[in-house]
């Protein structure tokens, strides 16, 4: 582990001088969503929009905006966002320090303008489950600088940032637009490799309980592991500091729950496991769909078939678009199925099991 520590210190020393360097930037000049700058050893993506931004991306000079679909709710729509990514080239790792964004909403309408009045930034590092920063929007551009936590100081793979707009207002003659004219990520790519760190967390719903198991890799002695739970996938509560590799959460009510593990290292840095989702039923036999566990690119379902026969298992988006279906034959009793969904947008989906006079649906977060 000493060699790993030396590498990390070297990387951090480089990042002290590199804080003013630009790892990637988007200026939107020439009506382009491609990165205008990508540092040595850095690959950056286009800026894209979530599926619920119904009017798509548009330009007014170097102003780039998402048109329509930004929610009026005081909470985010998980599919209404601007998205941009950076990653290290082969033989490098990333040391990222800040994200700097120039943001406003539409100037159209009355003097207050229109569009989202709030923004929130999250990242794929923890499955978009925590808030890196948030703020308010007006008709005038404001420069927001978000200082990134220690977890961004040694990235060996691509990280994606999602910038959500919400709490929309609409005034007479206005347009629902979230506008930017520049985004930049300060930091650099450093030659070398770091020890791989991972937490493989699995959660299985039982009747009024959740069985959790995990495996960790690449963490130094003295690292603390915190088991955390959330009802909305955004705000997490620490249940306990865990040892070993399993736990059972009995303090849950029926419904959907989110779990993750935070590794707290001695240097103050944190690493988060991917978030997993489960649906807890009210009793062992009350529902045909007893539970759902989504992890990575797969979904595991826990079903109770009331009778032997043929059943149809489907997954749809919340607006009814089908993404998966399979016909299956089974005997009466409890069964488990594994579904490979592949790469899909994070959001709420609906699982339905029908057949033999049974029809049961559950929402889950993927």
Count of other CB atoms within 10 angstroms of residue 197? 18
Tell me if 202 sits within 8 A of 276, measured CB to CB.
Answer: yes
CA–CA separation, 60 and 175 (whole Å) = 14
Instruction: Please write the tens of the pLDDT for every residue from 258-276.
Output: 899 998 888 777 788 888 8
| 3-state SS, residue 50 | coil
Instruction: Please write the tens of the pLDDT for every residue from 143-168.
Output: 999 999 877 877 888 999 999 999 99
DSSP class of residue 61 equals T
Q: What is the mean pLDDT of the chain?
A: 85
Instruction: Please write the tens of the pLDDT for every residue from 182-228.
Output: 999 999 998 876 667 788 899 888 767 888 999 888 888 888 999 99
- Closest to 260 measured CA to CA, from 221, 233, 290: 233
Tell me if 94 sits within 8 A of 187, measured CB to CB.
Answer: yes
The residue among 280 and 68 whose pLDDT is bigger is: 68
Is the pLDDT assigned to residue 358 strictly greater than 70? no
CATH label, 2-191, candidates 3.30.300, 2.40.50, 2.30.30, 2.60.120: 2.60.120
| 3-state SS, residue 201 | strand
Torsion-angle region of residue 126: left (phi > 0), alpha (psi -120 to 50) or beta?
alpha
DSSP letters of 134-186?
EEE--SS-EEEEEE--GGGSSB-S-EEEEEEEEEEE--TT---EEEEEEEEEE
Instruction: Please determine whether the domains at 2-191 and 198-365 fall in the same fold group of CATH.
Output: no
Tell me if 69 sits within 8 A of 53, measured CB to CB.
Answer: yes
Count of other CB atoms within 10 angstroms of residue 228? 20
The residue among 246 and 63 whose pLDDT is bigger is: 63
pLDDT of res. 300: 87
CA angle 61, 64, 70 (to 5 degrees): 145
pLDDT of res. 199: 87
The mean pLDDT value for 39-67 works out to 96
Tell me if 109 sits within 8 A of 166, measured CB to CB.
Answer: no
Judge residue 220's burial from the number of C-beta atoms within 10 Å of its C-beta, 0-12 exposed, 13-18 middle, 19 or more buried.
middle
The residue among 212 and 318 whose pLDDT is bigger is: 212
The encoded tokens of residue 182 equal 């520049």
Length reported for the chain: 366
The mean pLDDT value for 286-292 works out to 71
The domain limits of the chain are 2-191, 198-365
pLDDT of res. 3: 29
| C-alpha dist (Å) from residue 246 to 16, 39, 226, 319 | 39, 42, 12, 37
Tell me if 22 sits within 8 A of 37, measured CB to CB.
Answer: yes
Rg (CA), the chain: 22
Query: Which superfamily is assigned to 198-365 in CATH?
Result: Immunoglobulins (2.60.40.10)
| C-alpha dist (Å) from residue 30 to 60, 142, 265 | 10, 22, 45
């Amino acid at each position: 582990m000493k060699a790993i520590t030396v590498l990390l210190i070297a990387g951090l020393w480089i990042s002290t001088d590199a804080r003013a360097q630009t790892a990637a930037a988007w200026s939107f000049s020439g009506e382009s969503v491609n990165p205008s700058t990508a540092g040595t050893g850095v690959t950056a993506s286009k800026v894209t929009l979530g599926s619920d931004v119904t009017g798509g991306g548009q330009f007014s000079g170097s102003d780039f905006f998402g048109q329509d679909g930004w929610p009026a709710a005081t909470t985010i729509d998980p599919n209404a966002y601007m998205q941009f990514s950076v990653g290290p080239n082969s033989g490098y790792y990333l040391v990222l320090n800040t994200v700097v964004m120039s943001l406003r909403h539409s100037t159209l309408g009355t003097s207050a303008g229109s569009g989202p009045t709030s923004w929130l930034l999250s990242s794929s590092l923890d499955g978009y489950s925590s808030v890196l920063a948030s703020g308010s929007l007006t008709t005038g551009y404001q420069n927001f600088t978000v200082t990134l936590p220690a977890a961004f100081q040694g990235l060996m793979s691509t990280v994606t940032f999602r910038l959500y707009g919400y709490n929309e207002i609409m005034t007479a003659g206005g347009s629902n637009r979230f506008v930017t004219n520049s985004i930049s990520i300060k930091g650099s790519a450093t030659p070398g490799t770091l020890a791989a760190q991972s937490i493989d967390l699995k959660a299985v719903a039982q009747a009024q309980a959740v069985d959790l198991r995990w495996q960790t890799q690449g963490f130094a002695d003295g690292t603390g592991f915190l088991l955390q739970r959330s009802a909305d996938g955004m705000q997490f509560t620490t249940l306990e500091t865990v040892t070993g590799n399993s736990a059972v959460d009995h303090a849950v009510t029926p419904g959907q729950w989110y779990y993750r593990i935070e590794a707290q290292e001695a240097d103050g840095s944190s690493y988060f496991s991917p978030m997993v989702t489960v649906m807890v039923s009210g009793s062992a036999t009350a529902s045909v769909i007893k539970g759902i566990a989504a992890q990575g690119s797969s979904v595991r379902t826990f079903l109770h078939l009331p009778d032997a026969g043929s059943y149809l298992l489907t997954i749809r988006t919340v607006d009814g678009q089908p993404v998966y279906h399979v016909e299956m034959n089974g005997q009466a009793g409890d069964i488990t199925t594994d579904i490979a969904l592949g790469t899909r947008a994070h959001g709420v989906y609906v699982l339905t099991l029908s057949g033999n006079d049974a029809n049961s649906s559950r929402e889950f977060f993927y």
